[in-house]
């Protein structure tokens, strides 16, 4: 079978298996030297660029996508997030496109020297995506990243090295490593995309997520807010006056998190930010 015969057959299979067509294109582009134009123009030379061995490998991976519902990013082992080439394994959450915006919000709100030259922490770094993008943006800042998963920290370290960014990684639960480093009242910014899905919803997400992504990256406790409460209540001990705090959250959580921030009493300038789909996805605040 040549490449095009295989490709057309798999396009049909996407319908039968209810998998988006673009995922087939994505996997092919990620694992071969083909470009979008080759696929769009159905370039006849394509068959020469895809060796039988490569076609067999593509097919084996793609069949796992169809039958096991494995996300294509885990099958390829990497993805682009912003302009970063990141490795991913099932030990880390696949960084989502909407999370990219958290960096743009920080860039817009944190232009003063206290932020540019300050100490930043990414709590729950996973693949390291946010920390690495922060390091790329704040050239003079000191960037720390924390995760409770040692396997995730291994991937994050690899990603930081591959993207030539210097980040200090620490293992531990939320602020624990910061206490050991005596970073109380020293941080210019805290950023986090914490687990925020209510426990009983984690089991009812798409099978790609429920069956393959780490539940420790998703499960935010009974109401989804366990980790967010910790981030709201403990961050003021570590942030300097004017320090910036921002997290990602789930659709429907914005007003509750706003009230948690107000109730805490340490925050000012609380702002809710939307993602590309118009969902209230991020909330930021500053220490009064």
Ligand X SMILES: C[S@@+](CC[C@H](N)C(=O)[O-])C[C@H]1O[C@@H](n2cnc3c(N)ncnc32)[C@H](O)[C@@H]1O
Q: Which residues of this protein are in contact with ligand X, per CB under 6 A?
A: 93, 95, 99, 124-127, 129-130, 146-149, 152, 173-174, 193-195, 216-217
Residue 91 or 260: the one with the smaller Cβ distance to ligand X is 91
Residue 29 or 101: the one with the smaller Cβ distance to ligand X is 101
What is the four-CA torsion angle of 8, 87, 198, 259, rounded to 10 degrees? -120
Write down the least CB distance from residue 249 to ligand X, Å.
Answer: 10
Residue 93 or 209: the one with the smaller Cβ distance to ligand X is 93
What is the four-CA torsion angle of 119, 122, 123, 127, rounded to 10 degrees? -150
Cβ contacts of 58 within 8 Å, gap of 6 or more? 6, 27, 28, 31, 32, 50
Write down the least CB distance from residue 288 to ligand X, Å.
Answer: 26
CA angle 87, 228, 261 (to 5 degrees): 135
Write down the least CB distance from residue 150 to ligand X, Å.
Answer: 10
Write down the least CB distance from residue 154 to ligand X, Å.
Answer: 12
The answer to whether the CB of 279 falls within 8 A of the CB of 254 is no
Residue 55 and residue 49: Cα distance in Å, rounded?
10
Residue 56 or 173: the one with the smaller Cβ distance to ligand X is 173
């Amino acid at each position: 079978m040549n490449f095009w015969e295989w490709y057309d057959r798999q396009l049909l299979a996407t319908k039968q298996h209810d998998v988006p067509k673009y995922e087939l294109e994505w996997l092919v582009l990620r694992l071969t030297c083909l470009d979008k134009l080759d696929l769009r123009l159905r370039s006849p030379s394509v068959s020469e660029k895809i060796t039988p061995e490569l076609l067999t490998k593509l097919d084996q991976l793609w069949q796992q996508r169809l039958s096991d519902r494995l996300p294509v990013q885990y099958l390829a082992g990497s993805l682009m997030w912003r302009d970063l080439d990141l490795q991913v394994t099932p030990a880390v959450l696949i960084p989502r496109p909407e999370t990219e915006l958290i960096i743009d919000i920080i860039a817009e709100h944190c232009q003063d020297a206290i932020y540019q030259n300050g100490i930043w922490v990414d709590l729950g770094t996973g693949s390291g995506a946010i920390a690495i993008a922060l390091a790329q943006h704040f050239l003079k800042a000191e960037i720390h990243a924390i995760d409770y998963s040692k396997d995730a920290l291994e991937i994050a370290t690899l990603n930081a090295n591959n993207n030539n960014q210097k980040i200090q990684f620490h293992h531990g639960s939320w602020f624990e490593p910061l206490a050991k480093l005596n970073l109380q009242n020293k941080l210019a910014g805290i950023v986090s995309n914490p687990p925020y899905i209510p426990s009983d919803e984690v089991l009812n997400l798409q099978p790609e997520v429920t069956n393959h992504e780490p539940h420790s990256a998703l499960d935010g406790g009974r109401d989804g807010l366990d980790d967010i409460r910790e981030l709201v209540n403990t961050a003021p001990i570590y942030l300097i006056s004017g320090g910036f705090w921002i997290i990602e959250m789930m659709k429907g959580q914005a007003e509750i998190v706003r009230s948690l921030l107000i109730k805490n009493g340490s925050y000012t300038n609380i702002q809710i930010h939307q993602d590309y789909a118009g969902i209230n996805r991020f909330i930021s605040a500053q220490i009064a």
